[in-house]
Homo-oligomer: A and B are copies of this chain.
Amino acid sequence: MAVLLKDLITLDNEVFSAYAFWAGVLVIKMLLLSILTAIQRIKTKTFANPEDLMSKHQKVKFDNPDVERVRRAHRNDLENILPFLVIGFLYVLTNPSVGLAVNLFRAVGISRILHTIVYAVVVLPQPSRALSFFICLFVTVYMAIQVIFAAL
């Protein structure tokens, strides 16, 4: 392949700016789950470290379902958004068609926001979480395959 990064990794490239836009949005979304965990910990008085306790009558606790739910949503982000961010960047370098690539980035961005909402904010019944989970997974696998073939 003869396409150079210099032609692709620039914010003038619509594919790359779509990637950069959704990377920014998704990272802020992920970090909000840290804040939401802290809110749930304070609301339910569930602290994992002795130095976090707010009075000497409290004890460390690990099993509050509301705290653990947010932590599972957060871990799911680590497992899915971070690999997507790496592969999405490399996918830009395969010089994909603009329309396809921009819509794939959009699909991942929106589906991961929905994943957080149905998992940790309002808690909707399945298959809402499963569907929002699989969109990002399938797109990331598709992009990874494109990267592998371009690299061969």
Give per-residue flags for A1-43: 1 if the beta carbon is below 8 A from chain B beta carbons, else 0: 1111110011110000110110111011011011000000000
Contacts of A68 in B (CB 8 A): 48
How many A residues have CB within 8 A of the partner chain? 57
Chain B residue with Cβ nearest A76: B34
CA distance A5 to B12 in the complex (A): 10
Chain A to chain B contacts (Cβ below 8 Å), 25 pairs: A5-B6, A5-B9, A9-B9, A9-B93, A10-B93, A11-B93, A11-B94, A11-B151, A17-B152, A20-B148, A20-B150, A24-B87, A24-B144, A24-B148, A27-B86, A27-B87, A30-B79, A31-B79, A34-B79, A34-B80, A34-B137, A48-B68, A51-B124, A51-B125, A78-B82
